[in-house]
Amino acid sequence: MKILVVRFKQMGDAILATPVCNTLRKTFPDAEIDFVCYEHVAPIFKEDKNFNTITITNKVKNNAFRYLWEVYKITRKKYDIVIDLMSNPKSEWFTFLSGAKYRIGRYSKHRGFTYTHKIKEPTEFKNEVEKGLRLVEPLEKEYNIKYDTNFRLYVTDEEKEKLRKQMVEKGIDFSKPIIACSVTAKYMHKVYPIDSMVKTLKMILEKNNDIQLICFGTSDQKEYVNKVYEMMDRSKNVFPNIETKSVRDLLALFSNCDMYFGNEGGARHMAQGLDIPSFAVFWPESNRKCWIPFGGEKHRGIISRDIQEDYGNLSWEEIFNLITPERLVKEFYITFDKFVKNVI
């Protein structure tokens, strides 16, 4: 049995697609399962034994001839099942060129003619994991599907220890709480206003001066992270200098932390995949229930609609600031007190 799962999306979306691969692995333990994703996302899954990653670079993706040639070469494997989670005109070429018995994608009135099964969006609420697993349902007619809704990420002991040594060298005390703090995000419209974030972090430290905040970010976000550090008066409890040069480093960092706090995004999904307690601030037009699948009390978040359903004529910043620092501090400590305080 050879199976191909296609998901061209960024980090968080790719992570939430892995329950499809995990379900297929449980159902077909001896199958060859390949997962198509972006080149910069693939290292997240380096230690996952449930599937192999096949990467497509942006350079290839944006060149029609090179892209079709890559798709053609990949599909020469003669897959039995192709599940197109992306389901757009580009990803559909995988089903068109595969000749697989099962070619499954999302329903669209104007495309998807190469699919053997077109799955409509559910009318009832489904989170992102459940939506993806719906595309496995056509296989139930022939196979006993063993569903797995969990998404897990893996870090080696060597990776964890390497990051731990750096953290100790930079002054982190492992006898005190360590919080991975996301003060920024890939897109600025998803970032909780800096003044409110700084006020929140100061209030968190005022309540518990043992807490250590690791403010992480990419090289492009370094300036913003340092600005937060300066606004925090260069507090000894704030660490903007822990280097994470790759997504593997970021995973190792999280695995050495006690909790994730800050803006919602792919990094928060990484924390949940490592089962690190998390609390996130969602941007106003997001969907909290959709993007924290099966989080329970351990993985929670807040969105402005929790405070005020109708945003009216409020500005973007005013909408975001419906979530006050006082409310965020309260929510932070609900998670902290339940999952961190008593294990340090």
CA angle 294, 296, 302 (to 5 degrees): 95
Are 90 and 97 spatial neighbours (Cβ–Cβ below 8 Å)? no
> pTM above the 0.75 mark?
yes
Across 244-256, average pLDDT: 97
Q: What is the rounded CA–CA span in Å between residue 199 and residue 180?
A: 17
Query: Does the pLDDT value for residue 336 go beyond 90?
Result: yes
Residue ranges covered by each domain of the chain: 2-141, 158-343
- Superfamily designation of domain 2-141: Glycogen Phosphorylase B; (3.40.50.2000)
Residue with more model confidence, 62 or 31: 31
What tokens appear for 278 in the block?
């998390």
Q: What is the pLDDT of residue 342?
A: 67
Classified as helix, coil or strand, 262 is strand
3-state secondary structure of 239: strand
pLDDT digits (tens, 9 = 90+) for 157-212: 999 999 999 999 999 999 999 999 999 998 999 999 999 999 999 999 999 999 99
Q: Can 2-141 and 158-343 be said to share one CATH topology?
A: yes
Architecture of domain 158-343: 3-Layer(aba) Sandwich (3.40)
- Whether residue 271 is predicted with pLDDT greater than 90 in this model: the reply is yes
pLDDT tens, position by position, 120-169: 988 888 899 999 999 999 999 999 999 999 999 999 999 999 999 999 99
pLDDT band at residue 51 under the 50/70/90 scheme:
very high
Above 60 in pLDDT, residue 344?
A: no
Supply the pLDDT for residue 48: 96
Averaged pLDDT score across all residues of the chain: 95
58: confidence class by pLDDT, cuts 50, 70, 90? confident
Q: What are phi and psi of 337, to 5 degrees?
A: -65, -30
